[in-house]
């Protein structure tokens, strides 16, 4: 069924919305007892479940058991995002004439004004954890010159994700092309909770709401871009994949060990004697200024502490943690891990080989997502600049590039580039003074250096 057949089927609003909610892709659920949030949020891990791991109730009250959580799923999400966006995603333009070069500058201004680097970080976190993300681009009527030309429109973008409480519904045709993109969300209107459902196609934007109880259409406007003004990406599993059981086992091991520590780490005063010894009549330190104890001759008394085998626990947790990062191809670059293994700069670079391959694996869907977004920005630019620019906007090649984050040595880079260009300087004298940053007046500094060199050249040699 095509999108036009769905929208013009003659059914009720509820029936049309039900048809638009049909998903042909399999994406994990975020909320609920079986959702990804149960793994992502450490407060919802099994060790925090009092039904599975209850506190101890006795005659003296409640004895709270130790509950240690490890926020490693969130860490894996952030680490993958850092690997992808640590070096900002770059757009490479190859203009073929001056008009296209001008358009490339306009596009970069639009990205810059929308703080696209921050937007990329936010939506990568949403994609790697929630498995779905949608970015909606829209225009607001407001005269401005923010993008290098006088425009009556101001361009904005907004992210939607199940992590924010949004429900995303992409609709694909039989060839796998996206023909409609819908988002469901709730908002508070006074004391009422109102549901909304927006659908975007290449020609229409339709909004339904439950303001009056049942679903009803509240907006129906034409889209003049010629394409859906939004981009969508999904993945079949979260970035931590099937490693949550490893994290849960680490939490159980640490929590149970915490209970043993609390019980057995208190020193015990033991008396070795053949006769019965009375104890327990001592007053607290506020009532007695000294304590006197008397035991039979030949008795011995000493404090005994619990000698716990901590090495086994440490080995177990360390191996589980290493298994977590190894399976996910993510580097464990925490301060503790890095300082424990003294390595040269070149050796540290080798740590990122596996991570770079991981970024390469993940970059396919991301590059497709970013390329579609470039086409959406182009479509908005056509509307803002007019028909005289359309041909050059369509013809301008734009390629998005993802560079995996890695440790780089600037000295090695400069040496390699200098060797490649035959030993010629890479920057000017002025640029080197500016980059050094200690001069408040670069021109004055250069003049003084020139005067000193001239005086040294013509002065007497000592």
- One digit per residue, pLDDT tens: the chain, 462 residues? 788 888 888 889 999 999 999 888 999 999 999 999 999 999 999 999 999 999 988 887 888 999 999 999 999 999 999 999 999 999 999 999 999 999 999 999 999 999 999 999 999 999 999 999 999 999 999 999 999 999 999 999 999 999 999 999 999 988 888 999 999 999 888 888 999 999 999 999 999 999 888 999 999 999 989 899 999 999 999 999 999 999 999 999 999 988 887 777 767 777 777 777 776 666 665 666 666 677 777 778 777 766 666 778 888 888 898 899 889 988 887 666 666 666 666 666 777 788 889 999 999 999 999 999 999 999 999 999 999 999 999 999 999 999 998 876 667 677 777 788 888 887 888 888 887 778 888 888 888 888 888 877 666 654
Residue 382 CA to residue 375 CA, distance in Å, equals: 11
By the 8 A CB rule, do 216 and 194 touch?
no
What are the structure tokens assigned to 423, written together? 């030993």
Q: Where are the alpha helices (DSSP H) in 92-233?
A: 98-113, 116-130
Residue burial 368-406, b: 16+ Cβ < 10 Å; e: rest: ebbebbbebbbbbbbbbbeeebeebbeebebebebbbbb
By the 8 A CB rule, do 168 and 232 touch?
yes
By the 8 A CB rule, do 339 and 261 touch?
no
Measured torsion, CA atoms of residues 352, 353, 355, 359, in degrees rounded to the nearest 10: 120
Q: Which of 191, 184, 107 is nearest to 149 (CA)?
A: 107
Residue 115 CA to residue 382 CA, distance in Å, equals: 21
Q: Which helix (H) or strand (E) holds 328?
A: helix 310-328
By the 8 A CB rule, do 123 and 161 touch?
yes
* Angle separating helix axes 429-436 and 442-458, nearest 10 degrees: 120
Strand order across the 151-160 sheet: 151-160, 132-144, 230-234
DSSP at 283: P
* Angle separating helix axes 72-85 and 310-328, nearest 10 degrees: 40
Residue 445 CA to residue 249 CA, distance in Å, equals: 63
Instruction: Give the pLDDT score at 140.
Output: 93
Partners of residue 189 on adjacent β-strands: 192
Measured torsion, CA atoms of residues 245, 248, 249, 252, in degrees rounded to the nearest 10: -160
DSSP at 239: T
By the 8 A CB rule, do 106 and 281 touch?
no
Instruction: Report the DSSP pairing between strands 61-63 and 56-58.
Output: antiparallel
Sequence-distant (6+) residues with CB within 8 A of 369 are: 231, 232, 233
What are the structure tokens assigned to 117, written together? 């680097």
State the residue for tokens 């013009």: 8
Residue 455 CA to residue 450 CA, distance in Å, equals: 9
Residue 390 CA to residue 385 CA, distance in Å, equals: 8
Residue 67 CA to residue 49 CA, distance in Å, equals: 10
């Amino acid at each position: 069924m095509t999108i036009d057949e769905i929208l013009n089927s003659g059914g009720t609003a509820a029936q049309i919305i039900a048809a638009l909610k049909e998903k042909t892709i399999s994406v994990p659920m975020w909320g609920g007892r079986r959702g990804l949030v149960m793994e992502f949020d450490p407060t919802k891990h099994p060790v925090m479940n009092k039904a599975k791991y209850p506190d101890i109730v006795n005659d003296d009250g409640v004895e709270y058991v130790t509950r240690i959580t490890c926020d490693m799923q969130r860490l894996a999400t952030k680490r993958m995002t850092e690997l992808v966006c640590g070096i900002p995603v770059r757009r490479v333009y190859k203009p073929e004439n001056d008009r296209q070069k001008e358009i490339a500058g306009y596009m970069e201004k639009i990205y810059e004004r929308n703080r696209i680097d921050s937007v990329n970080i936010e939506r990568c976190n949403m994609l790697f954890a929630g498995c779905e993300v949608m970015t909606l681009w829209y225009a607001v009527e407001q005269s401005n010159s923010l993008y290098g030309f006088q425009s009556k429109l101001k361009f904005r973008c907004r992210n939607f994700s199940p992590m924010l409480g949004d429900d995303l519904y992409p609709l694909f045709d039989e060839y796998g092309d996206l023909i409609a993109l819908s988002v469901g969300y709730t908002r508070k209107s006074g004391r009422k909770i109102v549901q909304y459902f927006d659908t975007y196609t290449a020609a229409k934007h339709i909004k339904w709401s439950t303001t009056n109880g049942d679903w009803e259409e509240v907006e129906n406007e034409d889209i003049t871009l010629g394409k859906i003004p939004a981009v969508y990406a999904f993945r079949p599993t979260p970035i931590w994949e099937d490693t949550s059981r490893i994290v849960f086992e680490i939490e159980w091991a640490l929590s149970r060990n915490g209970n043993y520590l609390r019980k057995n780490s208190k020193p015990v005063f033991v008396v070795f004697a053949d006769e019965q010894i009375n104890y327990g009549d001592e007053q607290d330190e506020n009532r007695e200024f000294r304590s006197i104890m008397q035991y039979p001759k030949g008795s011995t008394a000493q404090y005994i502490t619990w000698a716990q085998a901590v090495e086994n626990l440490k080995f177990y947790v360390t191996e589980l943690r290493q298994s977590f990062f190894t399976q996910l191809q993510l580097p464990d670059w925490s301060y503790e891990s890095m300082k424990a293994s003294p390595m040269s700069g070149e050796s540290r670079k080798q740590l990122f080989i596996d991570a770079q391959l991981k970024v390469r694996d993940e970059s396919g869907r991301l590059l497709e997502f970013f390329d579609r977004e470039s086409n959406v920005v182009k479509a908005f630019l056509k509307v803002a600049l007019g028909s005289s620019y359309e041909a050059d906007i369509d013809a301008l090649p734009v390629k998005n590039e993802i560079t995996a984050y890695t440790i780089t040595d600037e000295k090695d880079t400069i040496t390699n580039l200098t060797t490649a260009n035959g030993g010629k300087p890479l920057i000017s004298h002025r640029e080197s003074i500016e980059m050094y940053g200690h001069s408040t007046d670069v021109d004055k500094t250069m003049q003084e250096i020139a005067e000193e060199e001239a005086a040294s050249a013509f002065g007497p040699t000592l």
